[in-house]
Amino acid sequence: MDRIRIRGGRPLNGSIPIGGAKNATLPLMAAGLLSDGPLVLENAPDLADIATMRHLLAQHGLTVVHDKAARTLTLSGAATNLEAPYDLVRKMRASVLVMGPLVARFGEARVSLPGGCAIGTRPVDLHIKGLEQMGAVFDLEGGYMHAKAPQGLKGARIIFPQVSVGATENLLMAACLADGVTELVNAAREPEIGDLAMCLMRMGARIEGIGTDRLVVEGVKTLGAATHPIIPDRIEAGTYACAAAITGGSVFLEGARMVDLGAVVRVMREAGVDVAEEHGGLRVTRSNGLRGADVMTEPFPGFATDMQAQFMALMCVAEGASMITETIFENRFMHVPELTRMGARIKYHGQSAIVRGVPKLSGAPVMATDLRASVSLVLAGLAAQGETIVNRVYHLDRGYESIERKLGAVGAEIERV
């Protein structure tokens, strides 16, 4: 099994290209079920999660071609199989996003319940309730959600009791082919939602309110072919911003956009990190010491839960104390014991952690537990004295393309072994 070996203490300097957003690409691929296509997605990343979604869509009957040299994904054809099996859905929760498109276009879907994952349970009740309001009838049996809408979906006014990115994406796609007007109230506002909406409009959908918490969709009979460029990955950009900051370097994040980062930029500036827009990207520099800063994860434009572990690693070497509160997932502090093995001073209770900065971290063998936790250990290793070995890096490959190559190109001493 692969591991990442890092010898820390080297400031990072140079340029890192930011790839297409994983969390935008997955729903965009599911949108390929809404038409015969072709749907061409540009700036597509080469990640394990993308391969999983590719396999899922292929077993549904779509033709999916990933041209890694051209960085494009091309999806075409109509679904011939309406079941998303457990073996694929269990690997990646975003697989549930096929449900809305399948029910909307074919009147039926049988999708495995995804179950929990390492960072906590993420129920699909909002997906089900929204589709029921649009006329779908569900039968839950044998670990599967079997949805039927033989007369097609109907427009509805759906009010989310809490913000849900996945439910917003699923119902937005379903609404495009529903009969009548659908209104999604308290919808998620993440940049990936806006990217999906723009792609759907290129396919012929009618959507108003993009970027707000109220999306209005006027259903159409059919959607067609489109070409769509995927937005840059804001979590990858934020992660490499933390890498520059934790090593005291200066890195240009090629393709990154300030507007996508929300509260992450504000908090990093509070911590003493300079983040500036330059032509074609963002420059992140830390020339002085780090200061402790408090963080509470929230839906966009708040501080992203997917940046919490990386920011905690940064605060481990900041002067003073920081309080980090996780409000999105109930079990997202699994990186804490591994960071403490490297000399970090962290105490947590429930959903809040107090981080007291130390002058130096020390290299150690550590184990990744999930995608963002694993990259927080890489960041800590970049700043630590001595050698850090990060085990179980298959988590990293789900969301970071060629991380050792990208960090190595800006001066990190890092290798995959």
User: Of the residues 117, 176, 199, 316, which is catalytic?
Assistant: 117
Was 124 annotated as part of a binding site?
yes
Was 370 annotated as part of a binding site?
no
Was 23 annotated as part of a binding site?
yes
Was 81 annotated as part of a binding site?
no
Was 91 annotated as part of a binding site?
no
Was 328 annotated as part of a binding site?
yes
Was 416 annotated as part of a binding site?
no
Was 123 annotated as part of a binding site?
yes
Was 126 annotated as part of a binding site?
yes
117 carries an active-site annotation: yes
SS (HEC) of the chain = CCCEEEECCCCCEEEEECCECHHHHHHHHHHHHHCCCCEEEECCCCCHHHHHHHHHHHHHCCEEEEECCCCEEEEECCCCCCEECHHHHCCCHHHHHHHHHHHHHHCEEEEECCCCECCECCCCHHHHHHHHHCCCEEEEECCEEEEECCCCCECCEEECCCCCHHHHHHHHHHHHCCECEEEEECCCCCHHHHHHHHHHHHCCCEEECCCCCEEEEECCCCCCCEEEECCECHHHHHHHHHHHHHHCCEEEEECCCHHHHCHHHHHHHHCCCEEEEECCEEEEECCCCCECCCEEECCCCCECHHHHHHHHHHHCCCECEEEEECCCCCCCCCCHHHHHHCCCEEEEECCEEEEECCCCCECCEEECCCHHHHHHHHHHHHHCECEEEEECCHHHHCCCCCHHHHHHCCCCEEEEC
Was 49 annotated as part of a binding site?
no
Q: Which residues are annotated as a binding site for UDP-N-acetyl-alpha-D-glucosamine?
A: 93, 122-126, 306, 328
Q: What residues are designated binding site for phosphoenolpyruvate?
A: 22-23
Which positions are annotated as active-site residues?
117
